[in-house]
Amino acid sequence: MIPGRGRFLAAWVRTFAVQGSWNYRTLIGGGMAYALAPLLERIHAGDPVALRKSLERAATEFNSHPYLSPIAVGALARLEYDRQDEETLRRFRGALQAPLGAMGDQVLWAGWRPFCVLVSGLLFLMGVGPVLTAAMFLLVYNAGHVAVRVWGFRLGWARGLEVGAALKAVPTKRVSRAFVFVNQVLMGAVAALLIARISGLEQGGWIGPSAAAAGLVGYFVPRGVAGLAIAALFVACLL
Amino acid sequence: MMDVEITVGEWLLASMLGALVGLDAVSWPQAMWSRPIVAATIGGLIFGNPVAGFLVGLWLELVMSRDPPFGAARYPETGPAALTAGAALALAGSSSAPALMGSVLVGWTIGWVGMHSIAVTRRANARLVAKPAVFGGRTSEVARRHLACIRLDAARAGLIVGALLVPSVLVVRGIAAFPRLEFATNLGGWFSAVGLAALTGIGARALGTRRREWPALMAGAAAGALLAWGVR
Protein backbone atom coordinates (compact mmCIF):
# COMPACT_ATOMS: atom_id res chain seq x y z
CA MET A 1 0.00 0.00 0.00
CA ILE A 2 1.38 3.46 -0.86
CA PRO A 3 2.07 5.60 2.23
CA GLY A 4 0.03 8.78 2.69
CA ARG A 5 1.33 12.33 3.01
CA GLY A 6 1.36 12.11 6.83
CA ARG A 7 3.57 9.01 6.74
CA PHE A 8 6.05 10.70 4.38
CA LEU A 9 6.14 13.75 6.63
CA ALA A 10 6.70 11.59 9.74
CA ALA A 11 9.58 9.74 8.05
CA TRP A 12 11.16 13.00 6.86
CA VAL A 13 10.92 14.55 10.34
CA ARG A 14 12.48 11.42 11.83
CA THR A 15 15.53 11.79 9.59
CA PHE A 16 16.55 14.71 11.81
CA ALA A 17 17.18 12.08 14.52
CA VAL A 18 18.77 9.49 12.21
CA GLN A 19 22.05 9.55 14.17
CA GLY A 20 20.31 9.26 17.55
CA SER A 21 21.44 5.69 18.16
CA TRP A 22 24.85 5.95 16.44
CA ASN A 23 27.01 3.03 17.52
CA TYR A 24 30.22 1.35 16.43
CA ARG A 25 28.53 -1.80 15.13
CA THR A 26 25.62 -0.70 12.92
CA LEU A 27 26.52 3.05 12.75
CA ILE A 28 23.20 4.75 11.88
CA GLY A 29 21.37 1.48 11.16
CA GLY A 30 19.06 1.93 14.16
CA GLY A 31 18.25 5.48 13.03
CA MET A 32 17.46 4.27 9.53
CA ALA A 33 14.97 1.76 10.94
CA TYR A 34 13.48 4.53 13.11
CA ALA A 35 13.09 6.89 10.12
CA LEU A 36 11.79 4.20 7.75
CA ALA A 37 9.31 2.73 10.25
CA PRO A 38 6.28 4.96 9.41
CA LEU A 39 6.67 4.12 5.70
CA LEU A 40 7.39 0.42 6.17
CA GLU A 41 4.32 0.02 8.42
CA ARG A 42 2.16 1.23 5.55
CA ILE A 43 4.01 -0.50 2.69
CA HIS A 44 3.79 -3.86 4.48
CA ALA A 45 0.38 -3.28 6.09
CA GLY A 46 -1.27 -6.61 6.91
CA ASP A 47 1.96 -8.60 6.44
CA PRO A 48 3.79 -8.78 9.79
CA VAL A 49 6.45 -11.15 8.44
CA ALA A 50 7.42 -8.76 5.62
CA LEU A 51 7.39 -5.84 8.07
CA ARG A 52 9.65 -7.72 10.46
CA LYS A 53 12.10 -8.58 7.69
CA SER A 54 12.14 -5.04 6.30
CA LEU A 55 12.73 -3.53 9.78
CA GLU A 56 15.60 -5.94 10.37
CA ARG A 57 17.10 -5.03 6.99
CA ALA A 58 16.72 -1.33 7.74
CA ALA A 59 18.49 -1.69 11.10
CA THR A 60 21.63 -3.33 9.69
CA GLU A 61 24.89 -1.41 9.29
CA PHE A 62 24.55 1.80 7.35
CA ASN A 63 26.31 5.15 7.20
CA SER A 64 25.60 8.45 5.50
CA HIS A 65 25.97 12.15 6.05
CA PRO A 66 22.94 13.01 8.24
CA TYR A 67 21.63 15.72 5.88
CA LEU A 68 21.72 13.29 2.95
CA SER A 69 20.17 10.39 4.86
CA PRO A 70 16.68 11.40 3.55
CA ILE A 71 17.89 10.35 0.09
CA ALA A 72 18.58 6.87 1.45
CA VAL A 73 15.34 6.76 3.45
CA GLY A 74 13.27 7.82 0.41
CA ALA A 75 15.03 5.47 -1.98
CA LEU A 76 14.99 2.44 0.34
CA ALA A 77 11.29 2.97 1.04
CA ARG A 78 10.70 3.11 -2.72
CA LEU A 79 12.57 -0.15 -3.24
CA GLU A 80 10.50 -1.81 -0.50
CA TYR A 81 7.34 -0.45 -2.15
CA ASP A 82 8.49 -1.78 -5.53
CA ARG A 83 9.03 -5.20 -3.85
CA GLN A 84 12.66 -5.46 -4.91
CA ASP A 85 14.35 -8.68 -3.86
CA GLU A 86 16.58 -9.02 -0.79
CA GLU A 87 19.86 -9.11 -2.76
CA THR A 88 19.02 -5.92 -4.70
CA LEU A 89 18.17 -4.13 -1.46
CA ARG A 90 21.38 -5.27 0.19
CA ARG A 91 23.54 -4.21 -2.76
CA PHE A 92 21.76 -0.90 -3.09
CA ARG A 93 22.32 -0.07 0.58
CA GLY A 94 26.00 -0.87 0.23
CA ALA A 95 26.44 1.20 -2.92
CA LEU A 96 24.68 4.25 -1.53
CA GLN A 97 26.82 4.77 1.57
CA ALA A 98 30.06 6.04 0.08
CA PRO A 99 28.63 8.78 -2.20
CA LEU A 100 26.28 10.06 0.51
CA GLY A 101 29.14 10.24 3.01
CA ALA A 102 31.63 11.85 0.63
CA MET A 103 29.19 14.39 -0.81
CA GLY A 104 28.08 15.48 2.64
CA ASP A 105 31.60 15.81 4.01
CA GLN A 106 32.89 17.79 1.03
CA VAL A 107 30.01 20.15 0.37
CA LEU A 108 28.27 20.48 3.74
CA TRP A 109 30.79 19.84 6.54
CA ALA A 110 33.84 21.33 4.75
CA GLY A 111 31.93 23.90 2.67
CA TRP A 112 28.56 25.25 3.73
CA ARG A 113 29.07 24.98 7.50
CA PRO A 114 32.46 26.74 7.79
CA PHE A 115 31.26 29.32 5.25
CA CYS A 116 28.27 30.28 7.44
CA VAL A 117 30.37 30.20 10.63
CA LEU A 118 33.12 32.38 9.16
CA VAL A 119 30.74 34.93 7.63
CA SER A 120 29.04 35.17 11.03
CA GLY A 121 32.42 35.62 12.74
CA LEU A 122 33.31 38.37 10.32
CA LEU A 123 29.99 40.13 10.96
CA PHE A 124 30.60 39.98 14.72
CA LEU A 125 34.13 41.34 14.38
CA MET A 126 32.77 44.18 12.21
CA GLY A 127 30.43 45.21 15.02
CA VAL A 128 27.16 43.27 14.62
CA GLY A 129 25.76 42.17 18.03
CA PRO A 130 26.48 38.60 19.18
CA VAL A 131 22.87 37.45 19.65
CA LEU A 132 21.79 38.85 16.27
CA THR A 133 24.83 37.28 14.58
CA ALA A 134 24.17 33.87 16.16
CA ALA A 135 20.49 34.06 15.20
CA MET A 136 21.37 35.03 11.62
CA PHE A 137 23.82 32.13 11.44
CA LEU A 138 21.14 29.64 12.55
CA LEU A 139 18.58 31.07 10.13
CA VAL A 140 20.79 31.14 7.02
CA TYR A 141 22.57 27.85 7.77
CA ASN A 142 19.36 25.97 8.38
CA ALA A 143 17.68 27.38 5.28
CA GLY A 144 20.33 25.44 3.33
CA HIS A 145 20.21 22.45 5.68
CA VAL A 146 16.42 21.97 5.51
CA ALA A 147 16.38 22.57 1.74
CA VAL A 148 18.92 19.75 1.27
CA ARG A 149 16.82 17.38 3.40
CA VAL A 150 13.62 18.18 1.46
CA TRP A 151 15.38 17.80 -1.91
CA GLY A 152 17.01 14.53 -0.84
CA PHE A 153 13.84 12.90 0.43
CA ARG A 154 11.88 13.78 -2.71
CA LEU A 155 14.74 12.65 -4.94
CA GLY A 156 15.09 9.33 -3.10
CA TRP A 157 11.40 8.42 -3.33
CA ALA A 158 11.04 9.64 -6.93
CA ARG A 159 14.14 7.91 -8.34
CA GLY A 160 14.41 4.81 -6.16
CA LEU A 161 16.93 2.44 -7.73
CA GLU A 162 18.07 5.19 -10.16
CA VAL A 163 19.04 7.65 -7.41
CA GLY A 164 22.75 7.00 -7.97
CA ALA A 165 22.56 8.42 -11.50
CA ALA A 166 20.80 11.52 -10.19
CA LEU A 167 23.52 12.01 -7.57
CA LYS A 168 26.22 11.80 -10.25
CA ALA A 169 24.66 14.84 -11.92
CA VAL A 170 25.23 16.98 -8.83
CA PRO A 171 28.36 19.17 -9.40
CA THR A 172 29.86 18.21 -6.02
CA LYS A 173 33.49 18.90 -6.94
CA ARG A 174 32.84 22.32 -8.44
CA VAL A 175 30.74 23.45 -5.48
CA SER A 176 33.17 22.13 -2.90
CA ARG A 177 36.17 23.77 -4.64
CA ALA A 178 34.39 27.13 -4.68
CA PHE A 179 33.62 26.77 -0.98
CA VAL A 180 37.21 25.79 -0.18
CA PHE A 181 38.57 28.91 -1.87
CA VAL A 182 36.10 31.30 -0.24
CA ASN A 183 36.51 29.65 3.17
CA GLN A 184 40.29 30.00 3.03
CA VAL A 185 39.93 33.74 2.42
CA LEU A 186 37.35 34.09 5.19
CA MET A 187 39.42 32.06 7.64
CA GLY A 188 42.47 34.25 7.07
CA ALA A 189 40.42 37.42 7.53
CA VAL A 190 38.74 36.22 10.75
CA ALA A 191 42.06 35.07 12.23
CA ALA A 192 43.74 38.41 11.41
CA LEU A 193 40.88 40.40 12.95
CA LEU A 194 40.88 38.22 16.08
CA ILE A 195 44.64 38.58 16.48
CA ALA A 196 44.29 42.35 16.11
CA ARG A 197 41.84 42.31 19.03
CA ILE A 198 44.30 40.74 21.44
CA SER A 199 45.17 43.39 23.99
CA GLY A 200 48.72 44.63 23.86
CA LEU A 201 48.97 44.11 20.11
CA GLU A 202 49.35 47.80 19.38
CA GLN A 203 52.54 47.83 21.49
CA GLY A 204 54.22 45.06 19.58
CA GLY A 205 54.55 45.54 15.83
CA TRP A 206 56.43 42.23 15.55
CA ILE A 207 53.33 40.24 16.49
CA GLY A 208 51.84 40.51 12.99
CA PRO A 209 54.81 39.06 11.11
CA SER A 210 55.25 36.34 13.76
CA ALA A 211 51.59 35.34 13.43
CA ALA A 212 51.87 35.25 9.63
CA ALA A 213 54.94 33.01 9.94
CA ALA A 214 53.14 30.73 12.43
CA GLY A 215 50.15 30.52 10.07
CA LEU A 216 52.39 29.47 7.22
CA VAL A 217 54.15 26.85 9.33
CA GLY A 218 50.76 25.57 10.52
CA TYR A 219 49.55 25.30 6.93
CA PHE A 220 52.53 23.44 5.57
CA VAL A 221 53.39 21.24 8.58
CA PRO A 222 49.89 20.82 10.06
CA ARG A 223 50.25 17.89 12.46
CA GLY A 224 53.76 18.74 13.55
CA VAL A 225 52.93 22.11 15.05
CA ALA A 226 49.47 21.37 16.52
CA GLY A 227 50.83 20.48 19.96
CA LEU A 228 53.15 23.50 19.97
CA ALA A 229 50.30 25.83 18.98
CA ILE A 230 48.09 24.59 21.83
CA ALA A 231 51.07 24.87 24.19
CA ALA A 232 51.49 28.52 23.08
CA LEU A 233 47.90 29.22 24.17
CA PHE A 234 48.60 27.58 27.57
CA VAL A 235 51.69 29.74 28.03
CA ALA A 236 49.71 32.84 26.98
CA CYS A 237 47.36 32.26 29.95
CA LEU A 238 50.23 32.64 32.37
CA LEU A 239 51.98 35.69 30.91
CA MET B 1 39.31 31.06 48.46
CA MET B 2 37.21 32.10 45.42
CA ASP B 3 33.42 31.98 45.36
CA VAL B 4 31.26 31.50 42.28
CA GLU B 5 27.99 33.47 42.34
CA ILE B 6 25.54 31.17 40.61
CA THR B 7 22.00 30.24 41.63
CA VAL B 8 20.63 26.71 41.48
CA GLY B 9 18.20 27.95 38.79
CA GLU B 10 21.05 29.27 36.62
CA TRP B 11 23.01 26.06 37.09
CA LEU B 12 19.99 23.97 36.14
CA LEU B 13 19.29 26.18 33.10
CA ALA B 14 22.91 25.89 31.96
CA SER B 15 22.81 22.09 32.41
CA MET B 16 19.54 21.76 30.50
CA LEU B 17 20.79 23.95 27.66
CA GLY B 18 24.00 21.91 27.77
CA ALA B 19 21.90 18.80 27.16
CA LEU B 20 20.17 20.51 24.24
CA VAL B 21 23.38 21.70 22.56
CA GLY B 22 24.98 18.31 23.23
CA LEU B 23 22.11 16.55 21.47
CA ASP B 24 22.36 18.80 18.44
CA ALA B 25 25.78 17.80 17.15
CA VAL B 26 24.98 14.13 16.52
CA SER B 27 21.67 12.85 17.87
CA TRP B 28 19.11 15.52 16.99
CA PRO B 29 18.71 17.69 14.84
CA GLN B 30 22.14 18.93 13.62
CA ALA B 31 20.77 22.47 13.32
CA MET B 32 24.19 23.66 14.52
CA TRP B 33 23.23 25.42 17.72
CA SER B 34 26.06 23.19 18.97
CA ARG B 35 28.59 25.28 16.98
CA PRO B 36 30.87 27.19 19.36
CA ILE B 37 29.71 30.62 18.12
CA VAL B 38 26.12 29.75 19.10
CA ALA B 39 26.65 27.54 22.16
CA ALA B 40 29.21 29.88 23.75
CA THR B 41 26.95 32.88 23.08
CA ILE B 42 24.12 31.03 24.86
CA GLY B 43 26.51 30.33 27.76
CA GLY B 44 27.50 34.00 27.93
CA LEU B 45 23.89 35.13 27.60
CA ILE B 46 22.75 33.07 30.63
CA PHE B 47 25.22 34.98 32.78
CA GLY B 48 24.75 38.41 31.18
CA ASN B 49 27.71 38.67 28.77
CA PRO B 50 26.89 37.34 25.27
CA VAL B 51 29.77 39.35 23.73
CA ALA B 52 32.30 37.44 25.85
CA GLY B 53 30.52 34.22 24.91
CA PHE B 54 30.65 34.88 21.16
CA LEU B 55 34.31 35.86 21.34
CA VAL B 56 35.24 32.59 23.10
CA GLY B 57 33.09 30.75 20.56
CA LEU B 58 34.90 32.32 17.62
CA TRP B 59 38.30 31.40 19.08
CA LEU B 60 37.06 27.85 19.62
CA GLU B 61 35.82 27.66 16.02
CA LEU B 62 39.36 28.33 14.78
CA VAL B 63 41.10 26.21 17.42
CA MET B 64 38.79 23.22 16.81
CA SER B 65 38.82 23.58 13.02
CA ARG B 66 41.96 21.39 12.93
CA ASP B 67 39.74 18.37 13.72
CA PRO B 68 36.89 18.39 11.18
CA PRO B 69 34.19 15.72 11.68
CA PHE B 70 34.88 13.77 8.48
CA GLY B 71 34.03 10.08 8.22
CA ALA B 72 35.00 8.10 11.28
CA ALA B 73 37.48 10.74 12.53
CA ARG B 74 37.60 11.52 16.24
CA TYR B 75 37.01 15.16 16.99
CA PRO B 76 36.29 17.28 20.11
CA GLU B 77 32.66 17.80 21.00
CA THR B 78 31.80 21.46 20.49
CA GLY B 79 28.41 22.21 22.10
CA PRO B 80 28.67 21.56 25.86
CA ALA B 81 32.34 22.59 25.77
CA ALA B 82 31.65 25.97 24.17
CA LEU B 83 28.60 26.63 26.34
CA THR B 84 30.66 25.98 29.48
CA ALA B 85 33.56 28.11 28.21
CA GLY B 86 31.29 31.04 27.28
CA ALA B 87 29.53 30.84 30.66
CA ALA B 88 32.87 30.57 32.47
CA LEU B 89 34.22 33.77 30.89
CA ALA B 90 30.96 35.62 31.57
CA LEU B 91 30.96 34.44 35.20
CA ALA B 92 34.68 35.05 35.71
CA GLY B 93 34.01 38.79 35.63
CA SER B 94 37.17 39.54 33.66
CA SER B 95 37.51 40.24 29.97
CA SER B 96 41.32 40.29 30.04
CA ALA B 97 43.30 38.42 27.39
CA PRO B 98 44.52 35.77 29.89
CA ALA B 99 40.89 35.12 31.01
CA LEU B 100 39.86 34.78 27.35
CA MET B 101 42.73 32.37 26.67
CA GLY B 102 41.82 30.45 29.83
CA SER B 103 38.22 30.08 28.63
CA VAL B 104 39.37 28.91 25.20
CA LEU B 105 41.56 26.24 26.79
CA VAL B 106 38.77 25.22 29.17
CA GLY B 107 36.50 24.79 26.14
CA TRP B 108 39.14 22.88 24.20
CA THR B 109 39.77 20.52 27.15
CA ILE B 110 36.05 19.89 27.78
CA GLY B 111 35.68 19.21 24.05
CA TRP B 112 38.01 16.24 24.37
CA VAL B 113 36.28 15.07 27.56
CA GLY B 114 33.02 15.24 25.58
CA MET B 115 34.52 13.18 22.78
CA HIS B 116 35.47 10.37 25.18
CA SER B 117 32.02 10.48 26.82
CA ILE B 118 30.42 10.14 23.38
CA ALA B 119 32.47 6.99 22.79
CA VAL B 120 31.02 5.53 26.02
CA THR B 121 27.41 6.30 25.00
CA ARG B 122 28.02 4.82 21.54
CA ARG B 123 29.04 1.55 23.14
CA ALA B 124 25.86 1.66 25.23
CA ASN B 125 23.82 2.40 22.08
CA ALA B 126 25.21 -0.75 20.49
CA ARG B 127 23.66 -2.82 23.30
CA LEU B 128 20.28 -1.20 22.62
CA VAL B 129 20.01 -1.29 18.83
CA ALA B 130 22.88 -3.19 17.19
CA LYS B 131 21.03 -6.54 16.97
CA PRO B 132 18.06 -5.99 14.61
CA ALA B 133 16.31 -9.07 16.07
CA VAL B 134 15.74 -7.23 19.38
CA PHE B 135 13.04 -5.12 17.71
CA GLY B 136 10.85 -8.20 17.22
CA GLY B 137 9.38 -6.66 14.09
CA ARG B 138 7.63 -3.96 16.14
CA THR B 139 8.04 -0.33 15.03
CA SER B 140 7.18 0.79 18.58
CA GLU B 141 10.20 -1.13 19.89
CA VAL B 142 12.43 0.51 17.27
CA ALA B 143 11.22 3.94 18.45
CA ARG B 144 11.52 3.07 22.15
CA ARG B 145 15.13 1.90 21.87
CA HIS B 146 16.16 4.71 19.50
CA LEU B 147 14.68 7.39 21.77
CA ALA B 148 16.36 5.79 24.81
CA CYS B 149 19.71 6.35 23.05
CA ILE B 150 18.81 10.00 22.44
CA ARG B 151 17.84 10.49 26.11
CA LEU B 152 21.16 8.93 27.13
CA ASP B 153 23.05 11.42 24.94
CA ALA B 154 21.10 14.35 26.44
CA ALA B 155 21.86 13.17 29.98
CA ARG B 156 25.55 12.81 29.09
CA ALA B 157 25.83 16.34 27.72
CA GLY B 158 23.84 17.86 30.59
CA LEU B 159 26.04 16.10 33.12
CA ILE B 160 29.20 17.44 31.49
CA VAL B 161 28.01 21.05 31.76
CA GLY B 162 26.54 20.54 35.24
CA ALA B 163 29.71 18.95 36.58
CA LEU B 164 32.28 21.18 34.89
CA LEU B 165 30.68 24.64 34.96
CA VAL B 166 31.81 25.74 38.43
CA PRO B 167 35.32 24.22 38.16
CA SER B 168 35.69 25.98 34.78
CA VAL B 169 34.81 29.36 36.30
CA LEU B 170 37.35 28.77 39.06
CA VAL B 171 40.05 27.88 36.52
CA VAL B 172 39.36 30.99 34.41
CA ARG B 173 39.30 33.21 37.51
CA GLY B 174 42.52 31.64 38.74
CA ILE B 175 44.19 32.35 35.39
CA ALA B 176 42.89 35.95 35.38
CA ALA B 177 44.19 36.49 38.94
CA PHE B 178 47.59 34.89 38.26
CA PRO B 179 50.31 37.47 39.09
CA ARG B 180 51.90 38.83 35.93
CA LEU B 181 55.32 40.29 35.26
CA GLU B 182 55.30 43.79 33.80
CA PHE B 183 57.83 43.02 31.05
CA ALA B 184 55.86 39.93 29.91
CA THR B 185 52.64 41.75 28.93
CA ASN B 186 53.41 41.69 25.23
CA LEU B 187 54.68 38.11 25.43
CA GLY B 188 51.19 36.90 26.41
CA GLY B 189 49.73 38.60 23.34
CA TRP B 190 52.52 37.19 21.19
CA PHE B 191 51.94 33.60 22.38
CA SER B 192 48.15 33.98 21.83
CA ALA B 193 48.59 35.39 18.33
CA VAL B 194 51.17 32.82 17.27
CA GLY B 195 49.13 29.92 18.72
CA LEU B 196 45.93 31.06 17.01
CA ALA B 197 47.68 31.73 13.69
CA ALA B 198 49.30 28.30 13.69
CA LEU B 199 46.00 26.60 14.53
CA THR B 200 44.24 28.61 11.80
CA GLY B 201 46.87 27.45 9.31
CA ILE B 202 46.30 23.84 10.40
CA GLY B 203 42.52 24.24 10.22
CA ALA B 204 42.68 25.88 6.79
CA ARG B 205 44.80 23.00 5.51
CA ALA B 206 42.35 20.48 7.01
CA LEU B 207 39.51 22.13 5.08
CA GLY B 208 41.49 22.91 1.93
CA THR B 209 43.58 19.77 1.49
CA ARG B 210 45.56 21.20 -1.45
CA ARG B 211 48.72 23.19 -0.81
CA ARG B 212 48.14 25.55 -3.70
CA GLU B 213 45.18 27.06 -1.83
CA TRP B 214 47.35 28.76 0.79
CA PRO B 215 47.58 32.09 -1.14
CA ALA B 216 43.81 32.42 -0.61
CA LEU B 217 44.36 32.09 3.15
CA MET B 218 47.14 34.68 3.03
CA ALA B 219 44.99 37.04 0.93
CA GLY B 220 42.24 36.76 3.54
CA ALA B 221 44.71 37.42 6.36
CA ALA B 222 46.00 40.52 4.54
CA ALA B 223 42.44 41.77 4.00
CA GLY B 224 41.65 41.15 7.67
CA ALA B 225 44.78 43.01 8.76
CA LEU B 226 43.84 45.96 6.54
CA LEU B 227 40.32 45.95 7.95
CA ALA B 228 41.65 45.90 11.53
CA TRP B 229 44.05 48.73 10.71
CA GLY B 230 41.21 50.73 9.10
CA VAL B 231 38.90 50.20 12.08
CA ARG B 232 41.65 51.34 14.50
How far, in Å, CA of A177 to CA of A110, rounded?
10
CB pair distance less than 8 Å for A194 and B196 = yes
Burial annotation B114-149 (CB, 10 A radius, 16+ → b, else e): bbebbeebbeebbebbbebeebebebebbbebbbbb
Closest CA to B136 of A25, A19, A29, A48: A48
CB atoms < 10 A from the CB of B224, how many?
A: 24
> At residue A229, does pLDDT exceed 70?
yes
**Contacting residues of B for A217, CB less than 8 Å apart:** 198, 201
Which of A142-151, B177-186, B187-196, B198-207 has the highest average model confidence (pLDDT)?
A142-151
Structural domain spans, chain B: 8-183
Mean pLDDT of A203-226: 80
pLDDT confidence of residue A161: 95
Q: Which range, of A206-215, B31-40, B219-228, averages the lowest pLDDT? A: A206-215
pLDDT confidence of residue B231: 64
Q: Residue A83: left (phi > 0), alpha (psi -120 to 50), or beta?
A: left
- pLDDT top residue among B6 and A212: B6
Question: pLDDT by residue (tens digit) across A56-74?
Answer: 999 999 999 999 999 999 9
A15 Cβ under 8 Å from any chain B Cβ = no
How far, in Å, CA of B197 to CA of A222, rounded?
12
How far, in Å, CA of B35 to CA of B54, rounded?
11
- Residue among A25, A123, A184, A228 with most chain B CBs within 10 A, to mutate: A184
Minimum CA–CA partner of A128 in chain B: B51
CB pair distance less than 8 Å for B201 and A218 = yes
Mean pLDDT of B118-122: 96
Backbone phi and psi for residue A62, each to the nearest 5 degrees, phi listed first: -155, 150
Q: Which of residues 89-148 of A touch B (CB under 8 A)?
A: 101, 105, 109-110, 113-114, 116-118, 120-121, 124-126, 129-131, 133-134, 137-138, 141-142, 145
A40 Cβ under 8 Å from any chain B Cβ = yes
pLDDT confidence of residue B189: 85
A210 Cβ under 8 Å from any chain B Cβ = yes
Backbone phi and psi for residue B138, each to the nearest 5 degrees, phi listed first: -105, 125
Mean pLDDT of A45-64: 96
Closest CB to B213: pick one of A124, A184, A204: A184
pLDDT confidence of residue A201: 56
CB pair distance less than 8 Å for A195 and B58 = no
Residue B73 burial (C-beta neighbours within 10 Å; 0-12, 13-18, 19+): exposed
CB pair distance less than 8 Å for A196 and B232 = yes
CB pair distance less than 8 Å for B132 and A60 = yes
Put simply, whether the predicted model's pTM sits higher than 0.80 gets the answer: yes
Residue B2 distance to chain A (closest CA, Å): 18
What pLDDT band is residue A88 in, cutting at 50, 70 and 90?
Answer: very high
B155 Cβ under 8 Å from any chain A Cβ = no
CB pair distance less than 8 Å for A131 and B50 = yes
Question: pLDDT by residue (tens digit) across B62-104?
Answer: 999 888 777 667 889 999 999 999 999 999 988 788 899 999 9
